[in-house]
A and B are shown apart, each in its own frame.
Chain A
Amino acid sequence: MLEIEDIKISFGRFGMEGVNLSVASDDYFVLLGPSGAGKSVLLEIIAGLTSPDSGKIRLNGKELTQLPPHKRKVGLIFQHPAVFPHMSVLKNILYPMKGIPKDEKYAKAKALAAQMGIEHLLDSGTAKLSGGELQRVALARVLASEPDLLLLDEPLSAIDSNLRVELRGLLRSLNKRGLPVLHVTHDYEEAISLATTLAVIENGKIIQQGRPEEVFAKPACEFIAAFAGEHNFFKAKINGGKISPLHFPEIIITGPEGIADGNAYVLIRSRHVVLTNQNPQLSTLNNFYGPVISVNPLRDGFEVEVGGSMPFFARITRESLEKLSIYPGKNLWACFKASSVEVIY
């Protein structure tokens, strides 16, 4: 359990005013915020690489605040993997191991490399590795130091998107094996995909915290609202390419081709949902009929909630609202293309 109490720091124009948070032992805690919100600084403070002006940090009941970085046992993965260029991959992974016999060290390094899928790279240098490979070397090396907590600073930002899903799975499984994680990112998709607890940081302050669904359903700031004001956001089960929302299992939504089976979050941006009065003869594969529940004015138009067996939200302009003469209680169709369904594993 990591407890952060009233951390304050200021340099230049940047300031952090009393950050409090706690990461439970089985938590995958994601701290989401725009660039410059103070996420990396907070991780550096926890790792002891930057000193706060005031505040306390405790890990499993032990006070860390005054400890030097090398005695804290909090593994930090930097945004740009700091894999040592003058050592081979194997040497990098062996580097933090202390006090165990040589053959055990090698066996442990091999096991970690296998876990990260970089076994074949052990003897190579680091100059020719890709971003994803470097990040996995960094992960294996951090795990070799047997940390009590894993700190991740935008670890997936320099990595190809298809590899990202794989690395996310890796991070999730590390967490499930009992390693608490504090992960900072500005990528909402990453946050949704990984978080068991989500907190939002802006201008050096934590402004919201809770389960991902809660945070996204009631965005407390513009940054989150920019993508989370999206109400067509839910957990779903995918089976044979068909998506059924967990809370509305009878509904079937068609997603983009080639989506994998399993549990995932689904996001359909409300500006991609089309409303029509007539039975639609459109190319859209998802067409749902129901009454208008509510019409909410937004800064740039209206958000219309269409009921039926499951509510869908559509964002339309005032002109469209008047043209279709939409009012609560009226029945109409809500339609969206399979390709506008975003699936986040």
Chain B
Amino acid sequence: MNNRTFTLIFTAGLALILLFIVAPIVGMVIKTPLPRLFETIEDAEVRNSILLTVISSIIATLLIAFISLPAAWMLARKSFPLKRLVLGIIDLPVVIPHTAAGIALLGMVSRDSALGQFASSLGVNFIGHPAGIVMAMAFVSLPFFINSAREGFASVPQRFENAALNLGISPLKVFLTISVPLASRHIVSGAVMMFARGMSEFGAIVILAYNPMTTPVLIFERFSSFGLQYARPVALLFIIISIALFLLMRLLTKEPENVRN
């Protein structure tokens, strides 16, 4: 096989993949008349669901980021027994079917479980509540954040942290002023991935909190109740918003950190 044929085959493969991604979306754009799209934007149910989805995903991301950032640092820096097992457990949400994850979470927070009773005594109810949505989103998307942050911390040369400790700075302050800023690119990009993944979640949410409806659930609801014609504009609008947010966040993380010396 000569070089040209080789390149041709590779390019053809790439073109096919791009077409596979872009064609359905373009088809959707063509089949959605503009007035229908504007009608959809004005539909309060749609607007509320988009707002709910975006805010829930932001809360889930911030919550996980806050709790797991130190853990990600520890996973990057320390070695301990069963570390591989721990890393495997963190990856678990990626490999289990999300509806199954939803069932598992439901079992954990249902009214007859200990956690469920405890939460409802505090006035928090996960089922059919935004708290359940946040929980489902956090569960299925946290590996994206932790793994990216862990990679980020691992890429920071340890001598920077050592130098800061040596200068008399406490470990917590070293973490906040040296480790986190130097790993910030990975951390932010992990957060963006987690946010995007959380927004698009359907399987776990539909089981834990069918109502209030996040946009993926609303799309499913409209499709199953009214058909393709009614689901399509909502789907298109949600895709546009997702892409816009994704691009915006990618722009924010563009500038590379210089770690030369």
Contact = CB atoms under 8 A, between A and B. Distances in A.
A75 to B, nearest CB: 7
Nearest to A151: B166
A154 to B, nearest CB: 13
A71 B169 CA distance: 8
B259 A71 contact: no
Interface string B218-233: 0000000000000000
Interface string B221-261: 00000000000000000000000000000000000011111
Contacts of A83: 261
Interface of A: 47-49, 68-76, 78, 80-86, 95-96, 98, 125-127, 129, 134, 138, 141-142, 144-145
Main DSSP-derived SS at the A contact region:
loop
Contacts of B166: 47, 49, 69-70, 72, 74-76, 142, 145
Contacts of A81: 261
Contacts of A85: 160, 182, 257-261
B167 A95 contact: yes
Contacts, number: 79
B159 interface: yes
B178 interface: yes
Interface residues of B, number: 23
A177 to B, nearest CB: 20
B78 to A, nearest CB: 14
Contacts of A71: 168
Interface of B: 157, 159-160, 162-171, 174, 177-178, 181-182, 257-261
A138 B163 CA distance: 9
Nearest to A137: B261
A84 B178 contact: yes
Given A85-B182, A95-B164, A70 B169 contact: yes
A127 B258 contact: yes
A82 B182 contact: no
B167 A127 contact: no
Contacts of A145: 166-168
Given A75-B167, A127-B258, A69 B162 contact: yes
Contacts of B157: 82
Shortest beta-carbon contacts, A-B, top 6: A82-B163, A96-B167, A69-B165, A145-B167, A82-B159, A127-B258
25 contacts: A48-B165, A49-B165, A68-B165, A69-B166, A70-B167, A70-B169, A70-B170, A70-B174, A73-B168, A74-B166, A80-B261, A82-B157, A84-B163, A85-B257, A85-B260, A85-B261, A96-B167, A96-B168, A98-B168, A125-B258, A134-B261, A141-B167, A142-B167, A144-B167, A145-B166
Best-surrounded residue of A48, A69, A71, A125 (most CB of chain B within 10 A): A69
Contacts of B168: 70-71, 73, 96, 98, 145
A47 B260 CA distance: 24
A84 B156 CA distance: 11
